[in-house]
Amino acid sequence: MNSHPQLAAQTVAPDKNRRLLLAGVLSGYVCSFLTLPFSAALADAPEAVAANAPENFLALSRMLTGKVQLDAQQADRLYAALVATTPDFDAQLKQFDDFVANNKPALATLQATLDEQKLAFAKLPGKIASAWYIGVVGSGKAARCITYETSLMFVAVADRLRPPSYAYGPYGSWGRNPLAV
């Protein structure tokens, strides 16, 4: 197809535009490393202490949520927040754990039993369930949001709804019968 000698000469000569582009990409690539330390620092800075959740917390969480698998990072963060907002959380946790081990209570009547017996840690299961399902820990001015979109209440309905502030879908997609999706 290339029958013009000048054209043939041109295709052999270096393409300056291509070089510019490559130079740009390369220097950009190198420069990007400069920002990495900053972004890593930023990611670390605002996060509070995330302790490793102990096994009794994980086991009790599995029992209260009815789930075999729970996200490890979520567990760590929730545990740390519960410790920070509930006085003597670890002590109550141990009491709860012992109670479950000794009495093997049915889940359906667990709360009623704890309330009836006016046990010191009676509010603990509710706090743990709230932490996992609602993602909020503490109350009043001390309340903190730990999870939102990964809160189990939204996971429970993820085939039907999105957590508020996330798009349901393209315009009009909400008109369909939700059971037909």
Partner 1 sequence: MSEQYSADVVVIGSGIVGALAAHRLAAQGASVLILEGGPRIDRATLVENFRNSPRKGDFVSPYPFSSWSPHPVYQPEDNDYLVQAGPYPYKAEYIRIVGGTTWHWAAQAWRVLPNDLRIKSLYGVGRDWPIAYEDLEPFYYEAEVKMGVSGAPNNGSPRNKPFPMQPVAESYLEQRFRERLAPGGYQVITNTTARNSRAYDNRPACCGNNNCMPICPIDAQYHGGLSVEAAEQAGAKLIHNAVVYRIEHDAQDRIVAVHYYDPQKNSVRVTGKTFILAANGIESPKLLLLSASDKFKNGLANSSGTVGRNLMDHPSNSLSFESDEELWPGRGPMSPASINHLRDGAFRADHAAFRIDISNSSKVPAVTQTLIAKGVYGTELEEQIRYHAARECSIKNVLEVLPDPENRVVLSDKKDALGIPRPQVHYAMSDYVHRGMAAAREEYTRIAQLMGGTNLRYSPDGIYGNNQHITGTLAMGSESKDSVVDGFGRSHDHPNLYIASTGVMPTAATVNSTLTAVALALRSAEHIHANA
Partner 2 sequence: MQTIKTVWSALTLAAAMCASAHAADMGTDIVKRGEYLATAGDCIACHSTAAGKSFAGGLAIATPLGKIVSTNITPSKTAGIGNYTLEQFTDALRRGVRADGERLYPAMPYTSYAQLSDDDVKALYIYFQQGVAAVDEKPAATDLPFPFNIRVSMAAWNLLFLDGKPFVPDGSKSVEWNRGAYLAQGLAHCSTCHTPRTALMGEDKSRPLAGADLGTWYAPNISSDAVSGIGSWSQAQLAEYLRSGRVAGKAQAGGPMAEVIDNSLRHLNEEDRQALATYIKTAAPQHDAQDSQAADSFGQAYAGIGALRGAPLASDTSKFNGAQLYDANCASCHRANGEGSAQWGGKDASLPALFHNTALGHLNSNNLVMAILEGVQRKAGGPEVLMPAFSNKLSDEQVATLSNYLLQHYGNPAAKVTAEQVKSLRAGGETSSLLTLARVGIVLVIALLLIVAVLLGRRRQPKP
User: Using CB under 8 A as the criterion, which residues of the chain lie in contact with partner 2 when the complex forms?
Assistant: 1-2, 4, 6-7, 10-11, 13-18, 20-21, 24-25, 27-29, 31-32, 35, 39, 42-43, 46-48, 50, 73-74, 77, 135, 144-150, 162, 165-171, 173, 181
Quote the least distance from Cβ 171 to partner 1, whole Å.
4
Closer residue to partner 2 (CB): 18 or 104: 18
Q: Is 104 left (phi over 0), alpha (psi -120 to 50) or beta?
A: left
Burial of 48 (0-12, 13-18, 19+ CB in 10 A): exposed
Q: Which does 105 bind (CB under 5 to 8 A by kind): partner 1, partner 2, none?
A: none
Q: Which does 85 bind (CB under 5 to 8 A by kind): partner 2, partner 1, none?
A: none
Q: Which does 102 bind (CB under 5 to 8 A by kind): partner 2, partner 1, none?
A: none
Q: Does residue 56 contact residue 94 with C-beta atoms inside 8 Å? A: yes
**What are the percentages of helix, strand and coil residues in the chain, rounded to 5?**
60, 0, 35
Pairwise CA distance, residues 59 & 70, whole Å: 10
Assigned token pair, 53? 């959740």
Residues found near partner 1 in the complex (CB under 8 A): 63-66, 107-108, 110-112, 115, 125-126, 129-130, 133-134, 136, 138, 140-141, 143-145, 148-149, 152-154, 156-157, 160-179
